[in-house]
Structure 1
Amino acid sequence: MTLPIFGIELPRARLDPRFLTEAIVQAKMYDPEGAVKVGYLDQVVDADKVLDTATGIAAQLGELPNGAYAANKMLIRAQTIATIEASLKG
């Protein structure tokens, strides 16, 4: 299956470039630890720790300056967003 532009651009922005061909072109499936290594996941935690881990990370993120966080997040994602938006208009 040929992927749509967003199906290429989102992984390109997220995955370790060394694994992009393996993950996308070769459609490799990963176990949880492999998914962390490649970049699909940030971390793997036991099921009973998911809520506490997510809450802790959210609290840490909540301590960051909102304006700078939002601006920097947009800056690193702007090209990906623009490429995807352009592909949807065409």
Structure 2
Amino acid sequence: MPAELAEKTDRYENLLADAVAEAEIAAQPGTPLADAAEECFEMATSYLEDGRHFREEDDLVNALASFSYGHAWLDAGARVGLFSVPTEGHLFTV
């Protein structure tokens, strides 16, 4: 089980890091939607940082949870049009 958890944690960290790199705010600057997009993006990057901290502490369960939550913020934002994201590939479900 620990090897599977480590592999899954690695996979989700990479997924979130790649998604953060690809997501671009699509909303017009200075609008409430842009503010919401910025908040979602900040949550995603914060969860990425948190997950990396948990990983350093050998807390793979919380690291995996953080990476998963971070990706959920971006994926949900992409689904409602806050972000411009690639439609091909595995990074987003839009």
Same fold per TM (> 0.5)? Answer: no
Q: Tell me the TM-score normalised to structure 2 length.
A: 0.29
Q: Tell me the TM-score normalised to structure 1 length.
A: 0.30
